[in-house]
């Protein structure tokens, strides 16, 4: 029997110096069996539901910048027992996803490879990484088999 059947996602933003937080959950089996693209879309839907909750229950309408700063973290441990990733929404610069936003992990070696219709390789990924100013900038496209 699974001792931890759900994964909880905590959405947080700071408005006027005050932290606002909401927690959502999903069955661990659904998360673990999902594709990278589905997980990305799910995290984006968490942000959208969080913004709708703020609007409805707290009467707070986030600016575009505040919405981009919403962080999503996994509460507790991941399936393999490792610490949860810190996820933030980043605006992407350059490449096929220029101007789009995507959830990205903040870690020791930050970069993200995202499925993109505009990728030079069908089924491949567009790779973005932060520059010295912290902007997530397109690096290159890579074919699926190179991942």
Band (1; pLDDT cuts 50, 70, 90)? very low
For residues 89 and 101, the answer to whether their CB atoms sit within 8 Å is yes
Pick the residue with more confidence: 17 or 81?
17
Got the DSSP string for 3-27? S--EEEEEEEEEETTEEEEEEEEEE
Q: For residue range 48-58, what is the model confidence (pLDDT) as tens digits?
A: 888 888 888 77
Q: What is the pTM of this model?
A: 0.51
Q: Domain residues of the chain, as ranges?
A: 1-84
Per-residue pLDDT at 77: 57
Token representation of residue 113: 């490879």
Q: Taking residues 11-19, report their average pLDDT.
A: 76
pLDDT for 79-134, tens place per residue?
Answer: 555 555 667 778 899 999 898 888 777 765 678 888 788 889 888 889 998 888 88
């Amino acid at each position: 029997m699974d001792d931890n059947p759900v994964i909880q996602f905590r959405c947080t933003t700071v408005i006027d110096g005050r932290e606002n937080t909401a927690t959502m959950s999903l069955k661990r089996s659904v998360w673990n069996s999902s594709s990278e693209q589905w997980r990305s879309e799910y995290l984006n839907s968490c942000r959208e539901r969080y913004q709708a909750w703020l609007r409805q229950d707290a009467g707070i309408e986030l600016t575009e910048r505040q919405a981009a700063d919403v962080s999503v973290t996994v509460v507790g441990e991941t399936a393999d027992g490792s610490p949860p990733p810190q996820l933030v929404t980043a605006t992407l610069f350059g490449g096929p996803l220029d101007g789009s936003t995507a959830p990205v992990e903040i870690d020791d070696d930050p970069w993200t490879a995202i499925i993109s219709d505009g990728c030079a390789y069908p089924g491949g990924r567009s790779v973005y990484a932060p520059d010295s100013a912290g902007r997530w900038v397109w690096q290159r496209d890579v074919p699926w088999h190179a991942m």
